[in-house]
Amino acid sequence: MTKSTLPYLAFDPATRRLRLDPREPAFFLNPYEAYGFLHDASNAFFWEEFGFWCFGGFGDVNRLLRDRRFGRQNPAGIPDSRGVGQDRIHLKAFDGIEANSMLELEPPVHTRLRTLVNRAFVSRQVERLRPRIEALANELIDRFEPGKAVDLLPAFASPLPITIIAEMLGVPVEIGPQLLDWSHRMVAMYIHGRTRETEDTANRAAGEFSDFLRGYVTERRKKPGDDLLSLLISAQEDGQKLSEDELVSSAILLLNAGHEATVHQTGNAVHSILVQGGDPRRFFTSPEATAATVEECLRFDAPLHMFMRYAYEEIEIALGIVVRPGQTIGLLLGMANHDPHAFAEPQAFRQERTDQKNVSFGAGIHFCIGAPLARLELQVSLKTLFDRHPRVHLAEQPRFRDSYHFHGLEALSVRF
């Protein structure tokens, strides 16, 4: 191994092996510094701490996300079959949900599930939520105490998406904190360096979350409404409906994905805009400018940095890099979004850029089903926040979470 100019990173150009602890503060606080070095050294490398080949070039990531020779469904049957200590008996509830999650499945099952669920997330359906999102954003801002510092994550970024997705599904909004707790405990399964305690906690959360939703599914079967749960119960494709297990897994996926990434992206976006200085309203002067600003926020500081896939056959991905069936690869979305071969001045925040093509929502058949909703929530919430408080400024240095897969802030304290 040879040291780079970054003391926390070692890279061997001959073997393309990288040694970099993803929980190293200097890295997770600012992964883009390491990405810059790696773009110069090699966009493909074997990341020793993870134990698989990773790809960070925009072209490679975009291509491999669409390559059907790779997929999310583990050939062993369930995602991440290794576990801590190899034994997964203690993860029965968690694995039961994952086994029916469209994010972890491939065609033909994935196609059927996504077709049924997608009807609620097409752009024309989502656009109807604009007035509700704007009203909710204003309600949350009205609660800020004048003259006092506000942590925007619990006060604004988190309650907005969880309220919207709970209302869509038809579950009580007041149970939002519990939904968030279940979600956080389950999502912790995807963080590098998880422990047996993490797994036990995630399994309990999965069981409780599942039991809660089964009760609402039973109610909706008896008394259908105009909510998403009722729609999923009644939806059919070629005469087939979702099973109850598929219903529960789909609802949990929508609840988790419907807020987890949006919370991180909202915090990251506010931070990105504030560090530009000046009047933030200049980024939101028209619907077109607002949409462009959100796309640049998604590219500039994405909430998800690694997306893993399994190889389904022996494939030579690049010269000298061969993966075999069942092996994992890592696609580095945040690194791809900063590829100097794909973006002019990738380290600069440029709302007006004409080379916008970020992969923050993925690509291919697993492109984020909630992307239209996430984009709308970001456009409305950010414009509303900065229109109401154009003099907002950081009250203290933001703190990033000590995780890598999900890149987001622990706290974002601001003053108005």
**pLDDT tens-place string over residues 67-121:** 999 998 877 654 444 444 567 889 999 999 988 888 888 888 888 888 888 877 7
Give pLDDT, residue 81.
Answer: 42
Q: Is the dihedral of CA 396, 397, 400, 401 positive or negative?
A: negative
Rounded percentage of the chain residues whose pLDDT exceeds 90: 68
CA–CA gap between residue 105 and residue 245 (Å, rounded): 14
Give pLDDT, residue 112.
Answer: 86
Rounded percentage of the chain residues whose pLDDT exceeds 70: 95
**Helix, strand, coil fractions of the chain, as percent rounded to 5:** 50, 10, 40
Give tens-digit pLDDT for 129-138: 999 999 999 9
CA–CA gap between residue 43 and residue 35 (Å, rounded): 9
Q: Quick one: tokens of 314? A: 């022996």
Residues 6+ positions from 407 with CB-CB distance below 8 Å:
28, 31, 264, 268, 301, 302, 303, 304, 305, 334, 400, 401
Give pLDDT, residue 3.
Answer: 55
Q: Are 17 and 28 in contact (CB under 8 A)?
A: no
pLDDT grade, residue 358 (50/70/90)? very high
Give pLDDT, residue 160.
Answer: 96
Answer with the residue of higher pLDDT: 300 or 256. Answer: 300
CA–CA gap between residue 356 and residue 299 (Å, rounded): 8
Q: Are 163 and 273 in contact (CB under 8 A)?
A: no
Answer with the residue of higher pLDDT: 82 or 384. Answer: 384
Q: Quick one: tokens of 42? A: 């090699």
Q: Are 300 and 272 in contact (CB under 8 A)?
A: yes
Which single residue is written with the structure tokens 């580095």?
Answer: 332
Q: Quick one: tokens of 255? A: 């609840």
Lowest mean pLDDT among 159-168, 232-241, 372-381: 232-241
pTM for the predicted model, two decimal places: 0.92
User: Within a 10 A sphere around the Cβ of 278, how many other Cβ atoms?
Assistant: 10
Give pLDDT, residue 329.
Answer: 97
Give tens-digit pLDDT for 244-282: 898 899 889 888 877 888 999 999 999 999 999 999 999
Give pLDDT, residue 78.
Answer: 45
CA–CA gap between residue 358 and residue 343 (Å, rounded): 9
Q: What is the mean pLDDT of residues 397-415?
A: 91
Give pLDDT, residue 189.
Answer: 87
Residue 374 has pLDDT above 60, yes or no: yes
CA–CA gap between residue 245 and residue 233 (Å, rounded): 11
Coil, helix or strand at residue 180: helix
Taking alpha carbons only, the member of 58, 288, 62, 251 closest to residue 170 is: 251
Answer with the residue of higher pLDDT: 90 or 190. Answer: 90
